[in-house]
Structure formats: C-alpha cells, structure tokens
Structure 1
Amino acid sequence: MSIEPPAGTITIAGKTVSRLGFGTMRLTGPGTWGHPEDFTTAVCVLRQAVNAYGITHIDTADAYGPHTAEALIRHALYPYPDDVLVATKVGMIRPAPHVWAPHGHPGYLRACVEASLRRLGRERLDLCYLHRIDPKVPIEDQLGTLQALKSEGKIGHIGLSKVTSEDIRLAGKYIAVAAVQNVLNVRDNFDPALELCRDLG
C-alpha cells in the first residue's frame, strides 16, 4: 500500500512545510502530564509522521508533559532533516495534570526558551509561540523578551497562540507575528482572526 503525502505546502517562519502538521500534545501521559504509556510507540509515531507520511511541520510546547514532548521529538528525529520545522511554545506553567496557567514573566520566558533549546538539541528555535498572553504581565514585556531572544539568534520567528484579532494587532506593534495558532474546526463559530491573518499574510 502506498501512502500519499499530505496535499499541498505552506510557508511558515520562512520554511516551506507540509500543509498538514503533527501536534505532539497527545504523545504525553493522561492529562497531558508525564511520559507516554508506551515510549517506543510514541517515538515510532513521530518517525512515521515524518518518514512515511511526509509531515514536515511538528508542533510542540514545553508545557506538554511538561517537557516530555520536546524530549521525545529529539529522541525520535534528531538530527533533524533540513525540511522539518519544529515549532514550540513557551509561557505556560503546569502545576498538575489538566492544569494550565499562563506565566509571562520575562525571566521565566527566557528560561523556557533556553530549556527548550537544550531539550530539542537546537541552537535556534525556528518558530517559538507565546503559549498564552499573560494578563498579569505587560504584553510589551512578554513580547520584548521573545524579541530580544530573536535578536540574540535563539529564536528565528515569533508566533502567538489562542489570541484574538485585537491581540494580534497589539502584538504587531512590538514584533513581527510570523504565525498564529488558534482553534479552527467545524464545531466552532468562525474566528475573525483567520481573516486578519490572511490579510496580514
């Protein structure tokens, strides 16, 4: 049986990747907490996504596990093929299974990026999302930290996750927003951020 690669490509963070990406949140344990029940199968799934199905866009976050998914990706795919984009997210703390809380303190964001670089075995994160905008920290401080890390060569491009159109416009005053990761499916109402992203390219 031949396996067809996902139809079409898109450009994200300056790299042409498969239109269909692979999200790694479900490779962790129950509640997006801890290690997968079957480590070998999780590694196999990652390798098949890239090698058998032609997926070249891998999405993860330091909060998945926490830290589990990034380590799995390195174990499965390092050294990374040149055409594979690994996007990760920072700025969320995980005190327990099923519990998520934004934490956008500049020192924490910097520590997250440094730790993600080590877990993934990279010198630069091709695409790093702010996992959530922390309402307790000025947005210019959160984005300014990521922009400083970009200037240092530790981040290639900056994205936003679970944001509104207003958030995107505000963020655009401080950074070049390379990508937005929002929920989009047939059960939810249309997200106006989609049209804004299309308008902004």
Structure 2
Amino acid sequence: MKYRTLGPDFEVSALGLGCMPMAGIGKGMYGEANADESIATIHRAIELGVTLFDTAEIYGPLINEELLGKAIRGKRDGVVIATKFGFRYDDNGMTGVDSTPANVRRACEGSLKRLGVETIDLLYQHRVDPGVPIEDTVGAMAELVREGKVRHLGLSEAGLDTIRRAAATHPIAALQSEYSLWERGVEDEILPLCRELGIGFVPYSPLGRGFLTGQITARSDLPEGDYRRNDPRYSEENFAKNMEMVAVVKGIADAHGASPAQVALAWLLAQGDDIVPIPGSKRRVTLEDSMQAADVALTADDLAKLDAAAPKGGTAGPRYGEKALSMTRI
C-alpha cells in the first residue's frame, strides 16, 4: 500500500475503506451484508496496509460504528478512524440535520463509546446545517480536539463559503465529497479551494455507486429494494448513455490486465497526491480488487481517453434526487 497526506501532517493509506455497506444499511442500499464477512474484510484491509476506515453515526444508525469498533478491537495501532455527525434521526430514520454544539458533543461521545476508542482520528460534519453558523459547529468540534477526543476535523459536501469560514475557525484536514469519473463537479472550484487552504480531499462513491465497476449491465441486475433503482443515473432513460463511459473504462482495464474498478480508482489517484478515495466494500474479494488500484499506472493516453469519455458534466442525470441534492454544497 502507498500512503498520502491529508492536511499538513496527517498520513493515511492512499485508498481508504468505506464501511457504509457493511452493517445497518441492509438491502435498501447495496444489498444484504454479512457481519462476519464484513469484519473479515476490515481485518484483511488492515493486513493489506489500509489505515483509513470511514463510518458515520447515521449508518444504521449506530450499528455500523459498533461493527467497526468490534473489528478493530486489539488492532487499534496504526488504524485511522473517521466518523461523521450531523443528522437527527428516530426509529423511522433520518429526520433532518443538527450541527448545534450540543449535538456535536452528544454525537462524539456516542461515537467514542460505540467505536471503543479514546480518540476519533477524523471527525466530519456529515452535512452542513444551514440553521447553525459553521463557526459555532467547528468551534464545538475544536473544543473536542482540545480535550483529546478528536485529532483532526473534516467537512462533507460543504460549499465554498462554508469551507473558507470553517478553515478560518480551525484547521480542516479533509473535505469528503462525491468525486469520480462520472461526478466531476468538484473540479472547477471546490478542489482548487481545498488546495489553496491545504485541505486534503476524500472522494466518496469513487466507483459511481458501483456503476463504474462494470458489474451492473442492466437495471435488472440490481436487487429488489436497492435504492439505486431510484438513482437518476441508473434510470431507464440514462442507463444506456452512462454505460458508454464504462465501455471505455473496460477497454483500458483489459489493456492493463486490471479490473474496471481499479482503472476508475487509479484515475482518481492520478488527479493529485492530496486525493484519498474510500471505495466501499463489505466483502474481501471486492476489497482486494479495489486496493490493487494503487499499483495501476495509467498512461497519459489512458487519462486522455478517460477524460474524453467522461467529461465534466457529461454523465446523464443528476447525481442525487432533488432532496438529497439540496443538502450539498451549502
């Protein structure tokens, strides 16, 4: 495994592991998950040199953090735990956002307990709360740093002004936002601002929610209840158009003796040394495949072909439905 730096002095593996599919999400997201296999996947990731493991309070809620905490018990050394706060929820699911200082502290204390750790290495605000000044939220997060409960701070899907104001309140180590061959909207302004401010970039959904792996060739491949059946880019009117870029990815993968997932991740890694993708996996076989992307060296011609096949704004359909999209870039 190769390693990169988020912020000025925060070293992590070049590829992290997104733990969201593992537990507490169920078949409504990426199909059923097996807890034993999920834990075995985390253990295998550690063996492969992966250090960055990403979870969140809302995944489950709660039980995703509990599973990760169980998996890292006795294996904490060298492991970097990232989790997120910022949603309100009840027994029926998510009910809104809440980044008040009181909720920041409540969420952190709960995450520490569920993860079984004394310090969270990277604490993200999961989504910006428009009702709370970012200075108040980051100020509360910074207090947790001073208390030794958190090491580094991060934001997720924040807009330009929010990022600037947050960084002026306390150093921000990482911004987590969607970025992949089929979602390049951060390239014009968000990514340059992160570089200006010395903020590392952590792409989630780096494989286009599985689309770029080439494993899904028709909407019927998605299990019943899978939320991607409602994803605009997986819709009947957009699916065939978006498969055109996958064909190019597959061709380059074949030339390298690699998988399409490896090529899609290698493209992201080639966009800058400050980029640390977190592909999600709940099985060892997909984990092992994805992590080999760090060793795939794309040529200038490969990169040019991928850029042409997947230009900014070229993917058919918005990346989220209207409600989810309204919670981004605030």
| Bin of the TM-score, shorter chain as denominator length | 0.7 to 0.9
What is residue 133 of structure 1 aligned with on the other side? 128
**How many residues get paired?**
192
What is residue 61 of structure 2 aligned with on the other side? 66
Choose from 166, 172, 175 the match for 1:177: 172
Choose from 195, 198, 201 the match for 2:192: 195
What is the TM-score of this pair, normalised by structure 2?
A: 0.54
CA distance in 1, matches of 2:102, 2:40: 35
CA distance in 1, matches of 2:45, 2:93: 26
Are the counterparts in 2 of residues 17 and 83 from structure 1 also a CA contact under 8 Å?
Answer: no
What is residue 235 of structure 2 aligned with on the other side? none
Is 1:41 paired with 2:47?
no
Return the structure number with greater relative CO, CA threshold 8 A, min gap 6: 2
Q: Residues 100 and 42 from structure 1, CA distance in 2 versus in 1: closer, same or farther, beyond 3 angstroms?
A: farther
CA distance in 1, matches of 2:149, 2:84: 14
Q: Any idea what SS the aligned residue of 1:147 has?
A: helix
Q: Residues 37 and 19 from structure 1, CA distance in 2 versus in 1: closer, same or farther, beyond 3 angstroms?
A: closer
The Cα offsets for residues 116-167 of structure 1, whole Å up to 9 and x where unpaired, read as 1111111111111111111112222211111111111111111101112222
Are the counterparts in 1 of residues 167 and 197 from structure 2 also a CA contact under 8 Å?
Answer: no
RMSD, aligned CA: 2.1
What is the TM-score of this pair, normalised by structure 1?
A: 0.86
Choose from 2, 8, 13 the match for 1:18: 13
CA distance in 2, matches of 1:133, 1:54: 32
Question: Structure 1 residue 18: deviation in Å?
Answer: 1.0
CA distance in 2, matches of 1:116, 1:174: 23
Choose from 69, 72, 84 the match for 2:79: 84
CA distance in 2, matches of 1:98, 1:24: 19
Percent identical? 36
Question: Structure 1 residue 97: deviation in Å?
Answer: 6.7
What is residue 299 of structure 2 aligned with on the other side? none
- Tell me, which stretches of 5 or more residues in structure 2 are unaligned? 199-330
- Tell me, which stretches of 5 or more residues in structure 1 are unaligned? none
Is 1:9 paired with 2:6?
no
Choose from 158, 162, 171 the match for 2:157: 162
Question: Structure 1 residue 92: deviation in Å?
Answer: 1.5
Which structure: greater strand fraction?
Answer: 1
Tell me which amino acid in the other structure corresponds to 1:24: C
Choose from 139, 145, 151 the match for 2:140: 145
The Cα offsets for residues 32-53 of structure 1, whole Å up to 9 and x where unpaired, read as 6xxx6422111111111212x3
Tell me which amino acid in the other structure corresponds to 1:148: E
Are the counterparts in 1 of residues 134 and 162 from structure 2 also a CA contact under 8 Å?
Answer: no
CA distance in 1, matches of 2:10, 2:135: 27
